[in-house]
Amino acid sequence: MYTRTYKTAVAVPPLLWVSTFLLLAYLLLFLHSFWSVQDGQIVHHWSLSNYRTLATQPLYLEVLWRSTKIAGAVTLLSLALGYPLAYYLSFYSRRKMLLYQLVIIPLWVSYLVRAYAWKTILGSDGVLNTLLQYVHLTDAPVSALLYSPFAVILTLTHIYTPFAFLPIFAALEHIPRHLVESSSDLGASPRQTFWRVVMPLSLPGVIAGATFAFVLSLGDFLAPLLVGGSSGIMISNVVVSLFGAAYDWPLGAAVSLAMLLLVLLLLWLTESLEKRWSHA
Amino acid sequence: MHRRFLLVLLSALAGLGTFSCNRQKPKTLNLLVWEGYADPSYIRGFEAKCGCTITATYMGSSDELVAKLRGGSAANYDVISPSSDVAGMIATAGLAAPLDLARVPSYAQLSPRLTGLPLVKSNGKTYGVPFVWGPNPLLYDTTAFPRAPEHWSELWEPKLKGKVSVWDDLSTIYMAAQVLGYDKPDPSALYNLSDDQLEQVKKKLLALKPNIRKMWASGGELTNLFQNHEVVIAMGWPLMTNQLRKVNFPIGETIPQENTTGWIDHLMITAASDNKDLAHDFLEYMIQARTQKALADVTGYTPANPSAAQFMSAEQKVSLHLDDMESYQRRIYFWQNVPRRARYNEIWNEVKAAQ
């Protein structure tokens, strides 16, 4: 069909792209993680000292654990919001495309703008606090709204819910409607139909959506930076400061690789889960 | 490492751009400086004189500056404004170019107390010009504090829960060390803390965390925090007091009884700069008496060129402490080189990452 030259010409640019911008970059990161900093210079002495620091200094594992908890909460909330919405859109909505677009539109707005919007809403002088005081529900601004882990979870949920919604919606759309009809013809109540037909068939979408929400929010650094305050910092902020002000690229690389490993493990896990459920 | 690739890509693109459209390329001077040092009120004057454009990037801490210079992006900047804590190291590490003082004639007018410091001199060469200095004062919302707070330790008071901001910088470590009394009898001990002392400082700062609403990383961030009533008290710069007063925000500024740390900022030319001639002209312009007066107007910092005073009102001279310079300087423990800066940074990162 296609000539050999054509095939090569098509394959080379993406391969080149992936090898320079992904493989080579990861390789450099990997190498850095075994080096160290002495007197403000990165020296190429091979050692495991960065990994030892990771394992012995509780700080890094604590922050990683905190980030995992935040990402977990974001995932659950995104699913809780995304699934009913996708289900409604796929099975009941008459204006499917309009609503679908409405979910997608926020993705076209800059991340920064959306995060800043939450600052305006949640701040001490913000929309929400002003309203709460206006209706006399509170008599002083509720400060826990902004600059707290709560604000981080809320912002991330807002930002990553569409990522959970999309694969779920796609999975629901692919469920043959005659299966649903047969289920009710055979006497199943709507509830039974949902739990025993629709839900199992949509699980691969749920897993894909949950993976997106979890992995993306685990690595997020802007939301904690902008709305996280002094107690909501996440692992990526640690990486940013290690690569930035602290100028400890080797330790930063080790933390990044630990994160990468965690994410790869998760991807492998969900991939195999997805496979099992789609063949069930 | 991504950054380096991005840089290569960007510079390749920039190269294409200049190659294709600019026959006689307009000169651009790139600054990496503290906020306030590239204000249009005086930058415009230089741009008009030299027929060049100035682009400024702001740094949020001394460590950010050093990391940028070391991390391979030094060639992106011509002029930097390191403070007395890292200026010496930048000079000796070969990151700055030696100055041709014959091209900076106003250097002779600068206060000899500043130019006499060994800080930016190495092998008989001078690597920087001191141009302004000032303290890190305590700023407070006067609606929350009818009287000025007298001690840094007041930041720890339980009633200020979630109402405090501190600088995301080693200065906060120095401040906590002052509260613990480590500056007695010798203030330079602040910059040479032992491991035990650093552990105590860390404990002290962890105790402050419930009160910290947000750590500020740029001047604009702190003025916003005050204006949005997120915080009522913070360590800041006189620049912020100036900016907040300009918008009629009720801000107070004080140096607590324990005194405070401060800095002497220097202008330096990076070793990697391609515009060293233009950069020398810029240094000269920045320390001329008129520019120094304009700088003081914007920042509230004390100019290094005493002859700037001839353009100032009596009131401004008082507010810049030109009338009682000696006693004012005694209250400021100027930043010094911190031999164990990496350890200080580790402690600071641990404080930041703790819950």
Give the whole-angstrom CA distance, residue B57 versus residue B32. Answer: 5
A230 confidence band (pLDDT: 50, 70, 90): confident
What share of chain B has pLDDT > 70, as a percent? 93
A246–B213 C-beta distance less than 8 A = no
Q: Is the pLDDT of residue B251 over 80?
A: yes
**Contact with chain A for residue B230, Cβ under 8 A:** yes
Give the whole-angstrom CA distance, residue B23 versus residue B79. Answer: 25
DSSP B81-146: ---TTTHHHHHHTT-BPPP-GGG-GGGGGS-HHHHTSSTTEETTEE-EEEEEEEE--EEEETTT-S
**Contact with chain A for residue B212, Cβ under 8 A:** yes
Q: Which of B3-7, B87-91, B301-305 has the lowest mean pLDDT?
A: B3-7
pLDDT of amino acid A16: 93
Q: Which of A249-258, B18-27, B248-257, B282-291 has the lowest mean pLDDT?
A: B18-27
Residue type, A189: S
Q: Is the pLDDT of residue A280 over 60?
A: no
User: Which residue from A126, A231, A249 is facing B355, i.e. has the nearest CB?
Assistant: A231
Instruction: State the burial class of residue B147 (Cβ atoms within 10 Å of its Cβ: 0-12, 13-18, 19+).
Output: exposed
Which value, in Å, is the radius of gyration of the alpha carbons in chain A? 23
The DSSP output letter for B348 is H
Q: Is the pLDDT of residue B84 over 70?
A: yes
CB B298 within 8 A of CB B36: yes
Question: Angle, to 10 degrees, between the axis of helix A235-243 and the axis of helix B341-353?
Answer: 160
B200 confidence band (pLDDT: 50, 70, 90): very high
Domain B2-133+263-332 coded CATH 3.40.47.10: no
| A57-278: CATH superfamily | MetI-like (1.10.3720.10)
Q: Is the pLDDT of residue B223 over 90?
A: yes
Q: Domain B135-261+338-353 is of which CATH architecture? A: 3-Layer(aba) Sandwich (3.40)
**Contact with chain A for residue B343, Cβ under 8 A:** no
Helix (H, G, I), strand (E, B) or coil at B239: helix
pLDDT tens-place string over residues A36-62: 888 778 888 898 999 998 888 888 889
Give the whole-angstrom CA distance, residue B298 versus residue B37. Answer: 9
A1 confidence band (pLDDT: 50, 70, 90): low
Q: Which of A76-90, A204-218, B17-31 has the lowest mean pLDDT?
A: B17-31
Helix (H, G, I), strand (E, B) or coil at B313: coil
Token pair of A8 as six digits = 């090569």
The DSSP output letter for B167 is B
CB A223 within 8 A of CB A159: yes
pLDDT of amino acid B25: 59
Alpha carbon A60 to its chain's center: 20
Nearest CA to A68 among A263, A272, A269? A263
pLDDT tens-place string over residues A54-95: 888 888 889 999 999 999 999 999 999 999 999 999 998 888
Nearest CA to B301 among B83, B73, B96? B83
Residue type, B165: S
Domain with CATH 3.40.190.10 in chain B: 2-133+263-332, 135-261+338-353
CB B300 within 8 A of CB B242: yes
Nearest CA to CA, how far is A231 from chain B (Å)? 5
B126 confidence band (pLDDT: 50, 70, 90): very high
Closest residue on chain A to B230 (Cα): A124
Q: Is the pLDDT of residue B2 over 90?
A: no
Chain A residues with CB under 8 Å of B71 CB are 243, 247, 249
Which are the contacts of B30, defined by CB distance < 8 A and separation ≥ 6? B54, B55, B56, B57, B76, B77, B78, B79
pLDDT tens-place string over residues B35-78: 999 999 999 999 998 899 999 999 999 999 999 998 878 889 99
pLDDT of amino acid B23: 40
B228–A123 C-beta distance less than 8 A = yes
B11 confidence band (pLDDT: 50, 70, 90): very low
Nearest CA to CA, how far is B70 from chain A (Å)? 8
Closest residue on chain B to A148 (Cα): B213
Nearest CA to CA, how far is B120 from chain A (Å)? 19
Nearest CA to CA, how far is A124 from chain B (Å)? 6
**Contact with chain B for residue A107, Cβ under 8 A:** no
Residue in the block written with tokens 């990037």: B57
B213–A123 C-beta distance less than 8 A = no
Which value, in Å, is the radius of gyration of the alpha carbons in chain B? 21
Across chain A, mean pLDDT equals 90
CB A169 within 8 A of CB A202: no
Strand order of the β-sheet with B138-141 is B164-165, B233-235, B138-141, B251-254
What share of chain A has pLDDT > 70, as a percent? 99
B162–A41 C-beta distance less than 8 A = no
pLDDT of amino acid A279: 59
Give the whole-angstrom CA distance, residue B246 versus residue B223. Answer: 11
More confident residue, B128 or A106: B128
Neighbouring C-beta atoms of residue A35, cutoff 10 Å: 20
Helix (H, G, I), strand (E, B) or coil at B340: coil
pLDDT of amino acid A95: 87
CA-CA-CA-CA dihedral for B97, B102, B104, B110, to nearest 10: 110
Across chain B, mean pLDDT equals 90
B13 confidence band (pLDDT: 50, 70, 90): very low
Residue in the block written with tokens 């100035």: B54
Report helix, strand and coil shares of chain A as percent, to nearest 5. Answer: 75, 0, 20
Alpha carbon B40 to its chain's center: 18
Q: Is the pLDDT of residue B326 over 90?
A: no
pLDDT of amino acid A143: 82
